[in-house]
Amino acid sequence: MRNKILNLIGGTLALGVSVTILSRYFWPDLPIPLYSLVAAGLCLVPSAITMMWASRTGSRNPENALLLVFGGTALRMTFVLAVSLLLFYTVPIFARMSFWIVILVFYLFTLGLEIALLVSGPLNQKRKQVQ
């Protein structure tokens, strides 16, 4: 599980660096590097919590898989949307449509990466070595 969470963090940071570098060339007047940093943090926290939750409950009780999927989605969506709306309405620099575009890109990327890591194998079981 630890490797998968580290892969999630590394992949999200790699996207953040890529978006920051590209935004400096294409949109130098927009604060997209700041948006990338905030979006990475907002999307990474609930994804990491969901992965830890999956590692603790996934192998013990497979009947709770549906609860895990819906609960993780609800946690992720509620957290990201609530904090993003709070920033959008209270902090003037975040009151732009480009902020929402960056949030959407990071949300979809972390969601896809998390799902790919979750279905790639058991979270808390070591792989059996073939002899």
Range in 19-23, 41-45, 69-73 the model is least confident about: 69-73
Q: What is the pLDDT of residues 64-104, one digit of tens each?
A: 667 777 788 888 899 999 999 999 999 999 999 999 999 99
Identify the CA nearest to 75 among candidates 125, 17, 114: 114
**Average per-residue pLDDT for the chain:** 84
**DSSP readout, 59-119?**
TT-GGGHHHHHHHHHHHHHHHHHHHHHHHHHH-GGG-SHHHHHHHHHHHHHHHHHHHHHHH
If you average pLDDT over residues 49-61, what whole number do you get? 73
- Whether this prediction's pTM lies above 0.75 is answered by yes
Give the helix/strand (H/E) hosting 96. none
Task: Enumerate residues 6+ apart whose C-beta is below 8 A from 30.
Answer: 23, 96, 98
Give the confidence band of 5 by pLDDT, cuts at 50, 70, 90.
confident
